């Protein structure tokens, strides 16, 4: 489990994450939603040890991230950030190879190569393996990065807005993959999503944040209610039942 | 192939155009070749590492004010004690003082800006640029007040020169550069991961802060040693590193680092050959390298842009 205990983070005078206690990483997919500036990405950065909390403690699978060597944590927790710009020219295969770094420190073993091959075929990137990242479409590049995270072979996977800048087809494709990773491979996926309909469709549990605190944490169906969504986004959202599934309407 | 080119140039340099005794020429010239090896290793490795850490391929460590600081130290010495004293100065002491002061300066800068809470590479670079400009202006001010004769001696000393290095200094510099390499080489795979950027590298289990501090320290020592040995020659690192990226055909440091070093050798040897044989020593090595290298670099940039 990923456990946050009374975690607080301030930037300057502003409190971005305010005394949050939260347990993440149950089976399946957990979605983290909330308006811009709610503290979702900061929460990920805290768990991903990119920033240090001003107060509180974060543990991943029982390991305190403040004291556990970074290399050990990388074997249980993989993080995919929002914008992944790479200065060097890498091929898809090169990138996925990096996913094995925590295990082999760059010296690939037979087992590493198997993991790399599996990740590449899992994300259907076989045809693109030798292409450079800057020659791929947005959807393919996102898949390549997810393949890297998958090759890292961790129990917990954090994805920060994996649907950013993707079109409808690729959004659905990525979410289906994320779901499969959770169901078939037993990954505990926690992902930041902006489209609440995607969150409701593909995840079991939704955690909603606003102004640095968790305002709602429940199964998807219970979050998909006009009054809850109004409290989270401060916008009127209509929720209708279509084919037995709640669908949020917020287009006008 | 590159190794072959280097060998050919070494042989060409060592054995051609010998006016007198071959043994004597060999002795002197092999010292020069050794100095070139030390310098191209220091400059090539440190520039590539610096690029990876800063995620930027058009910077050189000189942006941190290294050369400016070197010139400043020398100028202060001449300013305070006069050129006669500067020339009479024991070379070993001078080298030692310069290395210590340069390393101390950069370590201070790194720990202050990178060890603190708001660690930011960009802030560090910015402070480096500002300090570099400050050093340069301060140097200029002092140089303006110098006696013309003193100034002449000083500016002569400030052009990088690889010919006839002092043997003791050469050995000492070689040891420092070797130490720097010994720190960098085991980290080559970690360096590969650093090309992905800090967030991803941290996610893959790299202790970013510790690694970057170690790398910066190695870069400072190598640069200080080579600058104190031959003078400011850092711009050439930019050319060599960028040539290495296109020539090595791989982003991996196991390839780019040695390629940069070998290309450095080619540049220095080629430049020295041109300087000695074509111009009869009528210039300085850095002029030749900057001119030829700059042109080649422009060609490379334009060709890439056209594709």
3-state secondary structure chain B: CHHHHHHHHHHHHHHCCCCCCHHHHHHHHHHHHHHHHHHHHHHHHHHHHHHHHHCCCCCCHHHHCHHHHHHHHHHHHHHHHHHHHHHHCCHHHHHHHHHHHHHHHHHHHHHHHHCCCCCCHHHHHHHHHHHHHHHHHHHHHHHHCCCHHHHHHHHHHCCCCCCCCCHHHHHHHHHHHHHHHHHHHHHHHHHHHHCCCHHHHHHCCCCHHHHHHHHHHHHHHHHHHHHHHHCCCCHHHHHHHHHHHHHHCCCCHHHHHHHHHHHHHHHHHHHHHHHHHHCCCCCCHHHHHHHHHHHHHHHHHHHHHHC
Q: What 8-state DSSP symbol labels residue A236? A: -
CB pairs under 8 A between A and B: 68
Alpha carbon B245 to its chain's center: 18
User: Which residues numbered 213-242 in A keep a CB inside 8 Å of some CB on B?
Assistant: none
Integer CA distances (angstroms), A172 to A248, B9, B48, in order: 17, 59, 41
Whole-number Å distance between alpha carbons of A122 and A114:
12
What integer is the mean pLDDT of B83-104?
79
For residue B211, the chain A residues in CB contact (below 8 A) are none
What integer pLDDT is reported at residue B17 of this predicted model? 63
Q: Among candidates A80, A77, A154, which has minimal Cα distance to A115?
A: A154
Q: Is the ipTM of this complex over 0.85?
A: no
∠ CA B47-B111-B235, nearest 5°, is: 20
* Nearest-by-Cβ selection for A70 from B56, B198, B206: B206
Contacts by residues A21-25 (CB-CB < 8 Å, ≥ 24 positions apart): A21/A56, A22/A207, A22/A214, A22/A217, A24/A188, A24/A190, A24/A207, A25/A1, A25/A155, A25/A156, A25/A188, A25/A190
Residue-wise over A209-227: b if at least 16 C-beta within 10 A, else e? Answer: bbebebebbeebeebbbee
Using a pLDDT cut of 70, give the percent of chain A over it: 99
Among the listed ranges A46-55, B117-126, B174-183, which one has the minimum average pLDDT value? B117-126
Q: How confident is the model at residue B64 (pLDDT cuts 50, 70, 90)?
A: confident
What integer pLDDT is reported at residue B114 of this predicted model? 67
For residue B251, the chain A residues in CB contact (below 8 A) are 88-90, 94
Q: Please answer yes or no on whether A101 and B207 come within 8 Å at the CB atom.
A: no
For residue A105, the chain B residues in CB contact (below 8 A) are 189-190
For residue B202, the chain A residues in CB contact (below 8 A) are 48-50, 70
Whether residue B307 is predicted with pLDDT greater than 70 in this model: the reply is no
What is the set of domains in chain A, with CATH numbers? 1-76+155-252 (3.40.50.300), 83-153 (no CATH)
Question: Measured between CA atoms, how close is A159 to chain B, in angstroms?
Answer: 12
Q: How confident is the model at residue B306 (pLDDT cuts 50, 70, 90)?
A: very low
At what angle are helices B253-273 and B235-248 packed, to 10 degrees?
Answer: 130
Whole-number Å distance between alpha carbons of B269 and A65:
51
Quick one: tokens of B173? 């510099």
What does the pLDDT look like over B285-302, one tens digit per residue? 767 777 777 787 777 677
Query: Model pTM?
Result: 0.84
Residue B259: CB atoms within 10 Å: 24
Alpha carbon B233 to its chain's center: 5
Question: What is the side-by-side strand order in the sheet with A63-64?
Answer: A14-24, A2-11, A55-60, A63-64
For residue A72, the chain B residues in CB contact (below 8 A) are 205
Residue A63: CB atoms within 10 Å: 15
Which of A41, A44, A86, A87 should be substituted to probe chain B, the one whose Cβ sees the most B Cβ atoms within 10 Å?
Answer: A87
Whether residue B116 is predicted with pLDDT greater than 70 in this model: the reply is no
Three-state secondary-structure class, residue A96: helix
Q: How confident is the model at residue A191 (pLDDT cuts 50, 70, 90)?
A: very high
Cβ atoms B74, B158 nearer than 8 A: yes
What integer is the mean pLDDT of A34-57?
88
* Nearest-by-Cβ selection for A81 from B189, B199, B205: B199
Residue A129: CB atoms within 10 Å: 18
A74 in contact with chain B, both atoms CB, cutoff 8 A: yes
Q: Among candidates B227, B256, B220, B223, which has minimal Cα distance to B241?
A: B256
* Nearest-by-Cβ selection for A101 from B57, B197, B204: B204
What integer pLDDT is reported at residue B20 of this predicted model? 65
Whole-number Å distance between alpha carbons of B205 and A153:
13
Quick one: tokens of B184? 């960098």
Let me know if B28 is exposed, middle or buried by CB neighbors in 10 A (0-12, 13-18, 19+). Answer: exposed
Question: Measured between CA atoms, how close is B86 to chain A, in angstroms?
Answer: 45
Question: Measured between CA atoms, how close is B34 to chain A, in angstroms?
Answer: 32
Quick one: tokens of B140? 């200029």
Q: Among candidates A38, A114, A105, which has minimal Cα distance to A75?
A: A105
Within 8 A by CB and 6+ apart from A86, the residues are A95, A133, B195, B196, B197
What does the pLDDT look like over B14-34, one tens digit per residue? 666 666 667 777 777 788 888
Q: In chain A, where does DSSP find H-type helix?
A: 40-47, 70-73, 92-98, 101-104, 110-122, 138-151, 168-185, 196-202, 220-223, 226-233
Whether residue B118 is predicted with pLDDT greater than 70 in this model: the reply is no
Within 8 A by CB and 6+ apart from B237, the residues are B43, B44, B46, B47, B60, B61, B62, B264
Quick one: tokens of B270? 């080629």
A67 in contact with chain B, both atoms CB, cutoff 8 A: no
Integer CA distances (angstroms), B90 to B67, B97, B136, B157, in order: 21, 11, 25, 14
Let me know if B90 is exposed, middle or buried by CB neighbors in 10 A (0-12, 13-18, 19+). Answer: exposed
């Amino acid at each position: 489990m990923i456990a946050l205990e009374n975690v607080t983070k301030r930037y300057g005078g502003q409190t971005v994450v305010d005394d949050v206690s939260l347990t993440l990483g149950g089976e399946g997919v957990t979605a983290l939603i909330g308006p811009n500036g709610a503290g979702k990405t900061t929460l990920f950065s805290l768990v991903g040890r990119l920033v240090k909390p001003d107060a509180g403690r974060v543990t991943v699978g029982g390991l305190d991230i403040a004291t556990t060597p970074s290399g050990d944590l990388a074997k249980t927790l993989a993080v995919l950030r929002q914008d992944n710009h790479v200065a060097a020219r890498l091929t898809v295969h090169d990138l996925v190879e990096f996913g094995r770094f925590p295990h082999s420190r760059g010296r690939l073993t037979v087992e590493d190569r198997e993991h790399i091959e599996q990740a590449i075929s899992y994300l259907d990137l076989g045809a693109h393996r030798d292409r450079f990242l800057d020659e791929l479409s947005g959807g393919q590049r996102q898949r390549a990065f997810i393949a890297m995270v998958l090759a890292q072979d961790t129990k917990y996977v954090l994805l920060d807005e994996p649907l950013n800048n993707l079109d409808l087809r690729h959004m659905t494709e990525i979410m289906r993959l994320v779901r499969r990773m959770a169901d078939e491979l037993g990954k505990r996926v926690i992902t930041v999503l902006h489209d609440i309909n995607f969150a409701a469709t593909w995840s079991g549990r939704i955690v909603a944040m606003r102004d640095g605190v968790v305002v709602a944490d429940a199964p998807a169906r219970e979050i998909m209610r006009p009054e809850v969504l109004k409290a989270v986004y401060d916008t009127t959202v209509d929720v209708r039942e279509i084919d037995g599934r709640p669908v949020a309407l917020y287009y006008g | 192939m590159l190794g072959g080119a280097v060998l050919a140039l070494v042989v060409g340099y060592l054995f051609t155009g010998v006016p007198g005794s071959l043994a004597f020429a060999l002795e002197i010239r092999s010292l020069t070749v050794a100095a070139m090896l030390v310098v191209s290793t220091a400059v090539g490795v440190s520039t590539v590492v610096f690029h990876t850490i800063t995620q930027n391929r058009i910077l050189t460590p000189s942006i941190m004010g290294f050369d400016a600081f070197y010139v400043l130290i020398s100028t202060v010495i001449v300013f305070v004690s006069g050129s006669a004293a500067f020339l009479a100065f024991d070379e070993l002491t001078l080298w030692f003082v310069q290395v210590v002061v340069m390393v101390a300066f950069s370590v201070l800068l790194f720990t202050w800006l990178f060890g603190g809470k708001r660690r930011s590479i960009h802030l560090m670079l910015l402070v480096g640029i500002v300090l570099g400009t400050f050093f340069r202006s301060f140097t200029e001010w002092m140089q303006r007040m110098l006696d013309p004769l003193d100034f002449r001696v000083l500016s002569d000393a400030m052009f990088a020169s690889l010919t006839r290095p002092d043997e003791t200094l050469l050995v000492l510099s070689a040891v420092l550069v070797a130490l720097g390499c010994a720190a960098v080489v085991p980290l080559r795979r970690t360096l590969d991961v650093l090309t992905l950027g800090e967030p991803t590298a941290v996610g893959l289990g790299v202790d970013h802060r510790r690694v970057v501090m170690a790398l910066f320290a190695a870069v400072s020592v190598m640069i200080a040693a080579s600058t104190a040995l031959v003078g400011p020659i850092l711009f050439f690192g930019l050319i060599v590193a960028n040539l290495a990226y296109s020539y090595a055909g791989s982003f991996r440091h196991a390839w780019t680092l040695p390629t940069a070093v070998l290309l450095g050798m080619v540049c220095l040897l080629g430049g020295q050959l041109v300087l000695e044989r074509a111009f009869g020593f009528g210039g300085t090595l850095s002029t030749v390298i900057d001119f030829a290298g700059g042109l080649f670099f422009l060609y490379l940039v334009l060709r890439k842009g056209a594709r």
